[in-house]
Amino acid sequence: MSRNFFGTDGVRGRANIEPMTAQTTLRLAMAAASVFARPGGHNSVVIGKDTRLSGYMIESAMVSGFTAMGMDVVSTGPIPTPAVAMMTRSLRADLGVVISASHNPAADNGVKLFGPDGYKLSDEIEAEIEARMDAVDFPMPDAARLGRARRPEDAIGRYVEYAKGAFPRGLSLTGMRVVVDCANGAAYKAAPAAFWELGAEVITIGNLPNGLNINDGCGATHPERLREEVLRHRADLGVALDGDADRVQLIDDKGALIDGDQLLALIADEAVRRDALRGGGVVATQMSNLGLERYLAKRNLTLARTQVGDRYVVEHMRAHGFNVGGEQSGHIVLADFSTTGDGLIAGLQAAAALKLADRPASEVLHRFQPVPQILKNVRYKGEMPLEMVKVQSAMKDAEARLLNVGRLLIRKSGTEPLIRVMAEGDDPKLISSVIDDLVGAISATQG
């Protein structure tokens, strides 16, 4: 079965426009319930969301869909994506749902689904759910077997304790000043609490969500303000989460950005030091910098690459026994603690490394020199540009120019109508020329 509804990270789109409408998300809930509900069993689902205004509409629709199918609903309110994955397992629920468009603007929204094991669903299960959404009628329980909905009081506290449990036992962040940018998103309460409870002096920004300001000039996709605050407060570390807190970017004490690739190198080194790294290396995507691959190779560690999307990273980790993986964008998956990307846990690992090293972040967190890499996005409408003859010819020419001296990746975004064009290599002039030619060829198709 094919998937047209689901992308690389669930369903996503503009709120109140198909497919992100009350009607369609209600059908999505009913279809998911028909796949995961156990006949005659006590069926339940955990629903969390970020701080978007449209979350109220979609949450209400999905609660209606699940309860109509006889599933009890635990609605946590705003809470990070990894918290929903954790609570799905902890509460022995049949399904987990996150209502979020992650790093996208407030006008967008989305739905991510987790199985009872806390892992994102496979392509095959998503395709099955999608096929069932077209069903004319669902088998409905009688009135006495309708589901109930409740909102627990301890969801954020449970997640904070879970995140702190991944921090080295006996270590404290006392004496460390940390600026935390919550992106006006799902972790606006949990992230500052976790750092403070572990002993840090915490300065919090991006913690006043109003339903419309999520990711707006803040968070992991806009770390400029965090950089300013780190320098202004002379902080030891800056931590920027995205809207649903499954990714993180860091700022060191001198204002430099530390991306997911540097974090993977740091965490791999720390795991080797503790003799805790499994799989002989790290799993990342095609987007990760060649510099990371070279850095790991010098340490006799491998870099296994997957297609873009943290769930593909997780699938490879599970299949081949790795316990560290992630994406350059800051999705860091630590299988010893979590089943999905967790920006807070990753940020805490970096803070722990600073305390253990007793050196500044500018000395500890930059593990390798990245190879020059350029990524540009081209927005498109209508026909897919990558299927056009002129664009395919330009792609072949670019691959020939980079043969044995660089790497090229061109892909359609799974969350937005964008073509992402990335090239890297040791010659920055060549990389820039290749990117400009490709972007020009794709842009020319848009009139």
Residues 390, 196: Cα–Cα separation, whole Å: 55
Structural tokens at position 208: 């006043």
What DSSP string runs through 46-100? EEEE-S-THHHHHHHHHHHHHHHTT-EEEEEEE--HHHHHHHHHHTT-SEEEEE-
SS3 304: strand
Residues 362, 366: Cα–Cα separation, whole Å: 7
- On the CB side of 276, how many CA atoms lie within 13 Å of its CA? 14
Contact 103, 220 (CB under 8 A): yes
Contact 319, 305 (CB under 8 A): no
SS3 113: strand
Q: Distance from CA of residue 316 to its chain's centroid?
A: 16
Contact 364, 354 (CB under 8 A): yes
What single letter denotes the amino acid at residue 48? Answer: G
Active-site choice (44, 75, 102, 288): 102
SS3 82: helix
Q: Examine the residue annotation and report whether 44 is marked as an active-site residue of this protein.
A: no
Residues 350, 101: Cα–Cα separation, whole Å: 26
What single letter denotes the amino acid at residue 208? Answer: L
Burial of 420 (0-12, 13-18, 19+ CB in 10 A): middle
Annotated catalytic sites, by residue? 102
